[in-house]
């Protein structure tokens, strides 16, 4: 088995293992760094009470300031690469350049969409999913990433200027 196939097999094994939220009792949002507006979080995960180095869940949220697009939410299960991801809102389109033989290989998908591992690559393939409230998309992401005991999704409080 070549190195790429071994990496893909290991990534799938990590996704399949139950992972327990090791972060705080609420999603730990903080103001996004650098030039990104919005909020982000990172939380540790454990497998069998051990916290593997580099295994975490991260998220990004940006409320729509225009009123014409849905709020942006991006969620990722990370261990060296984005093993599972969910993207919603904004103007986010994705073209699946990998995933040969899968239904959306080579196609563009809008939001929301779910990123999963393919036989030919860990990252880069996404399929569309049904539009749903962000809390339901959070639960869907947790199921696909096999994360248990995570808090309910609570979005950051956004202060807007008075008009």
Chain centroid, CA 146 distance in Å: 12
SS3 for 57?
strand
Give the confidence band of 36 by pLDDT, cuts at 50, 70, 90: confident
Average pLDDT (66-82) is: 89
Closest by CA to 149, choosing from 56, 55, 45, is 45
pLDDT band at 37 (very low <50, low <70, confident <90, very high): confident
Distance CA 83, CA 96 (A): 15
Burial 48-66 (b: 16+ CB within 10 A, else e): eeeeeeebbbebbbbbeee
Average pLDDT over residues 34-63: 92
Taking the C-alpha atoms of residue 148 and residue 30, their distance in angstroms, rounded to an integer, is: 22
- pLDDT band, very low/low/confident/very high, at 13 (cuts 50, 70, 90): very high
What average pLDDT score do residues 108-127 get? 96
Is pTM, for the whole model, over 0.95?
no
Structure-block tokens of residue 10: 């290991």
Q: Residue 24, class by beta-carbon neighbours within 10 Å (0-12 exposed, 13-18 middle, 19+ buried)?
A: exposed
Cβ-in-10-Å burial (0-12, 13-18, 19+) of 88 comes to buried
Q: 63 or 162: which carries more pLDDT confidence?
A: 63
Secondary structure letter of residue 149 according to DSSP: S
């Amino acid at each position: 088995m070549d190195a790429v196939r071994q990496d893909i097999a290991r990534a799938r094994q990590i996704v399949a293992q139950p992972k327990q939220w090791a972060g705080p009792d609420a999603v730990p949002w903080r103001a996004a760094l650098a030039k990104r507006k919005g909020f982000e979080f990172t939380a540790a995960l454990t497998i069998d009470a051990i916290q593997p180095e580099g295994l975490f869940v991260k998220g990004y949220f940006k409320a729509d300031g225009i009123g014409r697009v849905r709020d942006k939410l991006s969620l990722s299960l990370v261990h060296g690469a984005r093993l599972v991801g969910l993207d919603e809102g904004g103007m986010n389109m994705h073209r699946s350049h990998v995933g040969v033989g899968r239904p959306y290989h080579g196609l563009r998908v809008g939001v929301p969409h779910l990123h999963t591992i393919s036989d030919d690559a860990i990252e880069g393939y996404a399929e569309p999913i049904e539009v749903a409230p962000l809390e339901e998309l959070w639960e869907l992401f947790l199921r696909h990433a096999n994360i248990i005991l995570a808090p309910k999704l609570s979005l950051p409080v956004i202060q807007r200027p008075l008009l």
